[in-house]
Amino acid sequence: MYDYKLSVRNCLDDACRAFVLAHNITDVAKAVGMQPATLRNKLNPDQPHQLTLPELLAITDHTEDPTILDGFLRQLNCQPSVPFNNATPENMQVCALTAMSSVGVIAGEAVSTEKMTVARRNQILDKASDAIRSLSLLVYSVESRFQTMPALAAAVDVVSSAMPGIVA
Protein backbone atom coordinates (compact mmCIF):
# COMPACT_ATOMS: atom_id res chain seq x y z
CA MET A 1 0.00 0.00 0.00
CA TYR A 2 2.80 2.42 0.83
CA ASP A 3 6.11 2.73 -0.93
CA TYR A 4 8.57 4.32 1.45
CA LYS A 5 11.94 4.86 -0.18
CA LEU A 6 14.97 5.98 1.74
CA SER A 7 16.52 9.20 0.59
CA VAL A 8 20.05 8.99 -0.81
CA ARG A 9 20.94 11.90 1.49
CA ASN A 10 21.13 11.29 5.17
CA CYS A 11 18.48 13.78 6.27
CA LEU A 12 18.39 12.37 9.79
CA ASP A 13 22.07 13.17 10.31
CA ASP A 14 21.51 16.72 9.06
CA ALA A 15 18.54 17.10 11.41
CA CYS A 16 20.56 15.86 14.40
CA ARG A 17 23.32 18.37 13.62
CA ALA A 18 20.79 21.21 13.33
CA PHE A 19 19.12 20.18 16.59
CA VAL A 20 22.43 20.23 18.45
CA LEU A 21 23.14 23.75 17.18
CA ALA A 22 19.70 24.97 18.22
CA HIS A 23 19.57 23.58 21.77
CA ASN A 24 21.53 23.34 24.97
CA ILE A 25 22.11 19.59 24.89
CA THR A 26 23.09 19.45 28.56
CA ASP A 27 19.71 20.87 29.59
CA VAL A 28 17.80 18.65 27.17
CA ALA A 29 19.64 15.52 28.33
CA LYS A 30 18.95 16.22 31.99
CA ALA A 31 15.28 16.93 31.26
CA VAL A 32 14.80 13.58 29.50
CA GLY A 33 16.84 11.57 32.00
CA MET A 34 20.04 11.04 30.01
CA GLN A 35 23.67 11.87 30.54
CA PRO A 36 24.68 14.87 28.37
CA ALA A 37 27.63 12.98 26.84
CA THR A 38 25.32 10.09 25.90
CA LEU A 39 22.87 12.40 24.16
CA ARG A 40 25.70 14.21 22.34
CA ASN A 41 26.99 10.85 21.10
CA LYS A 42 23.55 9.73 19.99
CA LEU A 43 23.06 12.96 18.04
CA ASN A 44 26.54 12.76 16.47
CA PRO A 45 26.38 10.94 13.11
CA ASP A 46 30.05 9.94 13.47
CA GLN A 47 29.28 7.88 16.58
CA PRO A 48 27.77 4.39 16.46
CA HIS A 49 25.18 5.18 19.16
CA GLN A 50 21.66 6.02 17.97
CA LEU A 51 18.53 7.43 19.53
CA THR A 52 15.83 4.98 20.45
CA LEU A 53 12.22 5.73 19.60
CA PRO A 54 11.27 6.49 23.25
CA GLU A 55 14.26 8.86 23.48
CA LEU A 56 13.21 10.63 20.28
CA LEU A 57 9.68 11.00 21.63
CA ALA A 58 10.91 12.34 24.98
CA ILE A 59 13.25 14.85 23.32
CA THR A 60 10.58 16.06 20.91
CA ASP A 61 8.00 16.33 23.69
CA HIS A 62 10.36 18.24 25.99
CA THR A 63 11.72 20.69 23.40
CA GLU A 64 8.58 20.89 21.23
CA ASP A 65 11.08 20.98 18.35
CA PRO A 66 10.22 18.59 15.50
CA THR A 67 13.62 18.92 13.79
CA ILE A 68 14.82 15.35 14.45
CA LEU A 69 11.38 13.85 13.81
CA ASP A 70 11.08 15.79 10.55
CA GLY A 71 14.58 14.65 9.54
CA PHE A 72 13.50 11.08 10.16
CA LEU A 73 10.39 11.59 8.03
CA ARG A 74 12.37 13.38 5.29
CA GLN A 75 14.75 10.40 5.25
CA LEU A 76 11.71 8.30 4.26
CA ASN A 77 10.64 10.94 1.70
CA CYS A 78 7.60 11.83 3.83
CA GLN A 79 6.03 15.16 4.71
CA PRO A 80 6.93 16.93 7.98
CA SER A 81 5.15 16.25 11.25
CA VAL A 82 2.03 18.23 12.08
CA PRO A 83 1.05 18.68 15.75
CA PHE A 84 -2.76 18.49 15.65
CA ASN A 85 -3.04 19.87 19.17
CA ASN A 86 -2.06 23.26 17.68
CA ALA A 87 -5.04 23.22 15.31
CA THR A 88 -7.66 25.41 16.89
CA PRO A 89 -10.12 27.87 15.38
CA GLU A 90 -8.19 30.67 17.09
CA ASN A 91 -4.98 29.69 15.24
CA MET A 92 -6.36 30.15 11.73
CA GLN A 93 -4.83 33.57 11.18
CA VAL A 94 -1.46 32.56 12.61
CA CYS A 95 -1.36 29.43 10.45
CA ALA A 96 -2.27 31.37 7.31
CA LEU A 97 0.29 34.10 7.97
CA THR A 98 3.04 31.63 8.83
CA ALA A 99 2.37 29.62 5.67
CA MET A 100 2.41 32.74 3.50
CA SER A 101 5.59 33.99 5.15
CA SER A 102 7.34 30.68 4.54
CA VAL A 103 6.18 30.55 0.93
CA GLY A 104 7.42 34.12 0.46
CA VAL A 105 10.88 33.18 1.71
CA ILE A 106 10.93 30.18 -0.64
CA ALA A 107 9.86 32.40 -3.56
CA GLY A 108 12.67 34.81 -2.74
CA GLU A 109 15.16 31.95 -2.72
CA ALA A 110 13.80 30.63 -6.03
CA VAL A 111 14.68 33.85 -7.84
CA SER A 112 18.00 34.30 -6.08
CA THR A 113 21.16 33.78 -8.11
CA GLU A 114 23.27 32.92 -5.08
CA LYS A 115 25.17 29.64 -5.04
CA MET A 116 23.19 26.75 -3.55
CA THR A 117 25.05 25.91 -0.36
CA VAL A 118 24.13 23.23 2.15
CA ALA A 119 22.99 25.90 4.62
CA ARG A 120 20.82 27.59 1.98
CA ARG A 121 19.32 24.28 0.88
CA ASN A 122 18.53 23.41 4.50
CA GLN A 123 16.92 26.82 5.02
CA ILE A 124 14.69 26.33 1.97
CA LEU A 125 13.70 22.82 3.09
CA ASP A 126 12.97 24.07 6.61
CA LYS A 127 10.75 26.85 5.24
CA ALA A 128 8.96 24.34 3.00
CA SER A 129 8.34 22.12 6.03
CA ASP A 130 7.05 25.13 7.97
CA ALA A 131 4.70 26.01 5.11
CA ILE A 132 3.38 22.43 4.84
CA ARG A 133 2.93 22.23 8.60
CA SER A 134 1.12 25.58 8.74
CA LEU A 135 -1.15 24.75 5.81
CA SER A 136 -2.00 21.39 7.37
CA LEU A 137 -2.82 23.09 10.66
CA LEU A 138 -4.94 25.61 8.76
CA VAL A 139 -6.95 22.75 7.26
CA TYR A 140 -7.55 21.25 10.70
CA SER A 141 -8.35 24.67 12.20
CA VAL A 142 -10.94 25.37 9.51
CA GLU A 143 -12.46 21.92 10.01
CA SER A 144 -12.51 22.43 13.78
CA ARG A 145 -14.13 25.85 13.43
CA PHE A 146 -16.68 24.50 10.98
CA GLN A 147 -17.57 21.57 13.25
CA THR A 148 -18.12 23.84 16.27
CA MET A 149 -21.08 25.41 14.46
CA PRO A 150 -23.28 22.43 13.48
CA ALA A 151 -26.17 24.64 12.34
CA LEU A 152 -23.89 26.47 9.92
CA ALA A 153 -22.43 23.17 8.72
CA ALA A 154 -25.93 21.80 8.05
CA ALA A 155 -26.96 24.99 6.25
CA VAL A 156 -23.88 24.90 4.03
CA ASP A 157 -24.53 21.21 3.25
CA VAL A 158 -28.12 21.99 2.24
CA VAL A 159 -27.11 24.94 0.07
CA SER A 160 -24.21 23.08 -1.55
CA SER A 161 -26.39 20.06 -2.41
CA ALA A 162 -29.20 22.31 -3.76
CA MET A 163 -26.88 24.43 -5.89
CA PRO A 164 -23.78 22.34 -6.73
CA GLY A 165 -22.61 24.70 -9.49
CA ILE A 166 -22.64 27.76 -7.29
CA VAL A 167 -21.08 26.50 -4.06
CA ALA A 168 -17.98 24.52 -4.97
Whole-structure pTM value? 0.67
- Three-state SS string over the chain comes to CCCCCCCCCCHHHHHHHHHHHHCCHHHHHHHCCCCHHHHHHHHCCCCCCCCCHHHHHHHHHHHCCCHHHHHHHHHCCCCCCCCHHHCCHHHHHHHHHHHHHHHHHHHHHHHCCCCCCHHHHHHHHHHHHHHHHHHHHHHHHHHHHHHCCHHHHHHHHHHHHHCCCCCC
Which of 6-10, 110-114, 152-156 shows the lowest per-residue confidence on average (mean pLDDT)?
A: 152-156
pLDDT digit string, tens, across residues 88-107? 777 788 888 889 999 999 99
Together in a domain, 89 and 142: yes
Together in a domain, 96 and 143: yes
Q: Per-residue pLDDT averaged across 32-61, rounded?
A: 94
Together in a domain, 65 and 18: yes
Number of domains in the chain: 2
Q: What is the span of the domain harbouring residue 108?
A: 84-150
Residue 48, domain member (yes or no): yes
State the chain's mean pLDDT as an integer: 84
Residue 111, domain member (yes or no): yes
Q: Per-residue pLDDT averaged across 18-34, rounded?
A: 95
